[in-house]
Amino acid sequence: MSLPPEKASELKQIIQDHLMKMDIHGKIRGVLAETLQAEGDRGERPLSEEDFLTALQRRGIVEEAMKELSFVNVLPLPFFLSLMNISPLRRYLYLQVLGGKAFLEHLQEPEPLPGQVCSTLTLHLHFRNQRFRSKPVPCACEPDLQEGFLLEVHRDSPGDAGKMADATTMLSICDPVHMVMIKTDTSGDTTLVSSYFLDWRSVLSAPSGKTTVSVELLGVGSECKVPAGVLNIKLEMYPPLSETLSPEVISTQQSLERQKTAEKERLFLVYAKQWWREFLEIRPSHQSKLVKIFAQDENGVNRPVCSYVRVLRAGRLLESPRQAARFVSLLVQERAPVVGGGARQEQWCTMMAFLCRNKGDCEDHATLLCSLLLGFGLDAYVCVGTKSKNTPHTWVMTCGTDGTVTFWESLTAHRYLHQPIDPEAPPMVPQPKPTYPYRTIGCVFNHKTFLANCQPSDSVELCVFEFTDGSRWKAMSEDAVRSVCAPGSTSSLPPLPPLCSSSVQTSEASNQLELEMRFLLAEHRKDLGLATVWDDHLSYLLSSALAAYELERCTGVSCGNEEFQDAVRRAVPDGHTFKGFPIHFLHRNARRAFATCLRSPFCEEIVCCRGDHVRLAVRVRVFAYPESACAVWIMFACKYRSVL
């Protein structure tokens, strides 16, 4: 960021004043004297500038100075805003994290050594279509989270969005700041530590426009009642409010919102119970159908399932529904962790927690894919049912204007056309053979609709998806669903966070991973007593195959294979044999990937190839998607002279 000369000189003066306060010159003189004395006693060569800098680093002077010069601590907010060219005609909430404490899970965590890879904590924020992320800090009982986030507090109506919001307007903005804490271990695996909704409006009553709060973060899932740690947070309004509100006004507003929410939820629960009784009266066997009206989120809060789906537009980040399905399939599937044995614990995550962790169960994948397909203008629904072995499962379906029904498997991006079997047809009439893995379906829903399957059989292959037919599908009242699930209703989840563009530089990531794979392959062959000779031209030719594989996963259409085969025939001389092995990963850990590859006999045959004139090739292509999701394709190949 380039600064005007007057701002640069002002910034230099602030830094100089701060260094003088910490007596940096005295500390440097002390280290210099000690170092000169030590060098003189040993009678070694004269002290160089490099030696002196090393001594300063060893004593921690440089690290202390850099820590003290954190912009969050040094720069006054108005100057910080002027550096960033922030408009003084807009209203902002400056949220500063001043450190954490009581993260008791990390009480025994050793102090990381300089340069040592360690587990880290990262704080993610979402507020009114704005997303932020802190720098990762080492896990500790008192993590050194020192960050500042500038949140714009804008009005809702398009005509007033450009006007500065006053205290009364901001009091009516009930959107919380959603804070998600993620732990990343040394292997890159992520864990959801906490998900917290911060009501920031207490700052509206602060006389100076600043207030400090301590936020107790709770665990998630089965530990949602157990404290995870405490964050010290400072809130500041900019520009400062001309008139502040009294604490009583704020608490009254919050109390009214809670009462309104509780009443809406009570009325919906009464309606849902009555609706369920009517559904059971249709047929007693409906008791065993998978009709899921409520689901628990990561904080153990029961929410209507329709509130987990919203219309989500990806802007320029995703170009088509099939590309959206590919993106969702690249997010890792992981069931909610449970302590001890027993049945599978079901946990539906809020979208922010799912995206920040980059992993979740089939329900999270299905609600995200359904939201994206709705954003692309499709008539999409989440399906709740079972797959093989009666395992509960969730997937997505879309209904075409011509009546076609398509199933979308959110974990794999596979698409299946549904053609119902007619049980009344004569035995000799050919029936369609289902290709999908789903067995039964209990209900479908989206952000506006909830429908339960009341057909005699809940088998998917016999199911008719005519949602307007009340004898086949029992619908909930759309008004009832809207009362608790519509955007802006106080009882619903906050609006979906926007997708973030990828931070992965695909060329650099591909080159780095390819170098690591070459090293691991060469070392493996060396252990077997085999030499490794690379064929760079053959490695380059593998790129087109990897690009074709990813395109096929995205579109379902295979193309480019003829050109690849022709190029390989030209590159492999007569009398030689070519072998290739492509494999796909969702991570960029070279050692994990190589160990997985060696478990395949086809890959091991290539890696351990023996023969005459053996040449090896490896190519890596990393394809980046939103939220730093990656499709990683690796192809090993070899050519050798065939000897009879």
Note whether 468 and 560 are same-domain residues: no
Residue 115 scores a pLDDT above 90: no
Domain tally for the chain? 4
- HEC string of 76-93 equals CHHHHHHHCCCCCCCCEE
* Amino acid 38: pLDDT: 67
- DSSP-derived secondary structure for 212-235: EEEEEEE--GGGTTSEEEEEEEEE
Note whether 368 and 286 are same-domain residues: yes
* Amino acid 162: pLDDT: 58
| Domain presence at residue 127 | yes
Note whether 65 and 81 are same-domain residues: no
CATH code of 609's domain? 3.40.33.10
| Domain presence at residue 493 | no
Query: Which residue did the predictor score with more confidence, 150 or 18?
Result: 150
Could you give phi then psi for residue 356, rounded to 5 degrees? -65, -35
Residue at which a domain ends, from 245, 270, 300:
245
| Domain presence at residue 497 | no
The residue type found at 418 is H
| Domain presence at residue 490 | no
Note whether 273 and 408 are same-domain residues: yes
Note whether 36 and 114 are same-domain residues: no
Residue 72 scores a pLDDT above 50: no
Which residue's entry shows tokens 């809020």?
A: 350
Distance, in Å, from the CA atom of 473 to the CA atom of 217, rounded to the nearest integer, reads: 42
* Amino acid 2: pLDDT: 47
| Domain presence at residue 499 | no
What is the average pLDDT across 232-246?
Answer: 89
Q: What is the pTM of this model?
A: 0.84
- HEC string of 234-291 equals EEEEECCCCCCCCHHHHHHHHHHHHHHHHHHHHHHHHHHHHHHHHHHHHCHHHHHCCC
Note whether 90 and 65 are same-domain residues: no
Note whether 380 and 326 are same-domain residues: yes
Residue at which a domain ends, from 197, 214, 245:
245
Note whether 311 and 217 are same-domain residues: no
Residue 367 scores a pLDDT above 50: yes
Note whether 166 and 272 are same-domain residues: no
The band of 375, judged by pLDDT with boundaries at 50, 70 and 90, is: very high
Distance, in Å, from the CA atom of 552 to the CA atom of 561, rounded to the nearest integer, reads: 11
Note whether 286 and 434 are same-domain residues: yes
Note whether 436 and 401 are same-domain residues: yes
* Amino acid 289: pLDDT: 87
Note whether 272 and 407 are same-domain residues: yes
| Domain presence at residue 251 | no
Residue at which a domain ends, from 214, 245, 276:
245
| Domain presence at residue 500 | no
> How many CA atoms lie less than 13 Å away from 604 in the CB half-sphere?
7
Element housing 141 (H / E)? none
- HEC string of 318-374 equals CCCHHHHHHHHHCCEECCCCCCCCCCCCCCCCCHHHHHHHCEECHHHHHHHHHHHHH
pLDDT single digits (tens) 176-220? 999 999 999 888 889 999 999 999 999 999 888 899 999 999 999
Q: Which residue range forms the structural domain that includes residue 132?
A: 77-245
Residue closest to 205 by CA, chosen among 255, 173, 247: 247
Residue 112 scores a pLDDT above 80: no
Distance, in Å, from the CA atom of 170 to the CA atom of 154, rounded to the nearest integer, reads: 9
| Domain presence at residue 501 | no
CATH code of 473's domain? 3.10.620
pLDDT single digits (tens) 602-633? 999 999 998 889 999 999 999 999 998 999 99
CATH code of 107's domain? 2.60.40.150
